[in-house]
Structure 1
């Protein structure tokens, strides 16, 4: 897999929140001043394994207290340009070579010209409990699957939302709502992560067993439904120092 990525001559700059990809020192996230097919394929591939990625990006029970509907946090497996409740958001892309600060500060004397565009895509689910190495490796697996999937553009279209994702006509799948559900998702898709030896069987077994040990299925609904502030406080205090 690594050799194939090198042959593609793609250099990826990844973080928990954003992905930017260059080829031959050019940003391939943009094509004709719009989001490119390469970017859309990567989005489709990542979204297809996004349930499993929760096992690496949301590793403690209080992670899922944030991931609730009707908040600026992702629960639906979809992507879009403006809605902050989508899982992958496409932020404002500057398709000219001038730096943002030059445009925002017209009286600034010095002018900086960037060699490439600055378009990125944001992955909005992971939090500070994430195992950054496993999460980034998972993102690479998803991106690679999208780039090598002949139907990725069709899937990207199906995942796309340009309106309120909580309206009834949308029927997007949901992210896991607990550590246990994340473990179950990883179990179902573990063969994807074990391909090409990227993740070992032992590594995935340990991750799944650890997540299941929290036994937190339905915990968010119970705490919020009963408005149990004291139990919520104790839970946060227990896991807030996860790092």
Structure 2
């Protein structure tokens, strides 16, 4: 760590960095930032930077508000969109109390605690997300938003905004040390997807927060608006963050077993069983907004029922096709999580659910071989396919009864998320919407 700190201090001097931004997130996943001068960085490494934690959503209670942000030198990067005028760098932070204890409500710490439990069981957790988002024309009102194009899945749009946007975004991400696997136009008008190459769980959560910032910055630069809202357009696909996951024991993929069905090991099957068993309990975090349930229950390939399948894109959890000779790539894909989730909390809960399945040796139910959406309600019931929550209110009720979620998040985060989400749903429920006025004002 001392060598990494020395590297940061030397790079700041050699590159003429003028500002260093210290980043962390609140419980909902909003990125927070404080800029310090280069001369303050060494002190930040040794002592941290103090701030009022009670002013940050869910981070601490008012009567214990003093917190410290400690920059992680391994996350140091120069921000490419700042250019050569006043070069600016960033580091993610771990949050502690004044006596040096990790802040229990720091989302990054929640994930680190869960990764430590996985390590105690002999596992390293890797993820690979496919992040969808919409590009909209700037300046439109929320009532009249307009996508930048009307292209579809994998469409090539000569001279289109999306091409330049994705090229610029991918280049910035690579400059930040974040490897990109694919980028393409998605199914909705103005909808795009960029897939990040796999990394360990903590690095990937940091990468996702950086990714969202890059996308927003490039959008501003190009005169458009980028949104990770789960379902911004009625009648069009929502934006998911399908996440591929695997556990490794040293250099060995614990999800791979030669000769097993789909080459999926017992550990992999138990991990999926954990994801399915606890899917409803973790939904208020993997799908944390009122709008998230418009995506889950709006069709267009979003999963609505708790099922798994091999290459079945209507299932909540999918086992991708095995590539011969590539045991390292054996993985499972969670298709429920959306692009607006707090990656630290969501990945902590997805990992915890999978680990629970392994520890308790959950039995994996029969796979869904049919298109789950095409089945009748009676057929789904007969097959035992439970629905995901239909609203944020339902999700909160499931979460409230969950020992797994309470234990993983810790009491403070658990209570805050419940309170915050109840308040959001109450505000949503009390609105008089355009739909109601349009359908009822003249006829009642």
What TM bracket, shorter-length normalisation? 0.7 to 0.9
Report matched runs for 1:152-167 at 5 Å. 152=362, 154=363, 156-158=364-366, 160-166=367-373, 167=375
Does residue 93 of structure 1 match 2:322?
yes
Unaligned 5+ runs, structure 1: 98-115, 232-243
Instruction: Find the counterpart in structure 2 of residue 120 from structure 1.
Output: 331
63 and 215 in structure 1: CA distance in 2 versus 1, 3 angstrom threshold: same
1:139 maps to 350
Matched residue, 1:21: 247
Instruction: Give unpaired runs (5+ residues) of structure 2.
Output: 1-113, 130-242, 439-444
Q: How many residues align?
A: 201
Map of 1:46-85 to 2, 5 A cutoff?
Answer: 46-68=275-297, 70-85=299-314
The CA distance in 2 between the partners of 1:92 and 1:73, in whole Å, is 20
Give the match for residue 9 of structure 1: 122
Q: Which of 188, 194, 211 is the equivalent residue of 2:406?
A: 194
State the 1:129 CA deviation: 1.5
Of the structure 1 ranges 35-44 and 160-169, higher mean CA displacement relative to structure 2 is found in 160-169
Q: Which has the higher contact order (CA 8 A, sep 6+)?
A: 1
Q: TM-score, normalised by structure 1?
A: 0.73
Contact 1:79/1:88, CA 8 A, preserved across alignment: yes
- Hey, what's the Cα distance between the residues in 1 that align with 2:313 and 2:386? 17
* Residue in 1 that maps onto 2:413: 203
**How large is the RMSD of aligned CA atoms in angstroms?**
2.8
- Mark the CA change 1:212 to 1:3 in structure 2 (over 3 Å): closer, same or farther: closer
| 1:70 positional shift | 4.8
| Greater per-residue strand proportion | 2
1:125 counterpart SS class: coil
Deviation at 1:4, TM superposition (A): 5.3
SS in 2 for 1:77: coil
CA distance in 1, matches of 2:124, 2:310: 24
Moved more, 26-35 or 6-15: 6-15
Q: Is the 8 A contact 2:274 2:357 kept in 1?
A: yes
In the other structure, the counterpart of 1:237 is none
Q: Residue 94 and residue 218 in structure 1: after superposition, are their counterparts in 2 closer, same or farther (change >3 A)?
A: farther
Q: Output the CA distance in 1 between the equivalents of 2:386 and 2:278.
A: 12
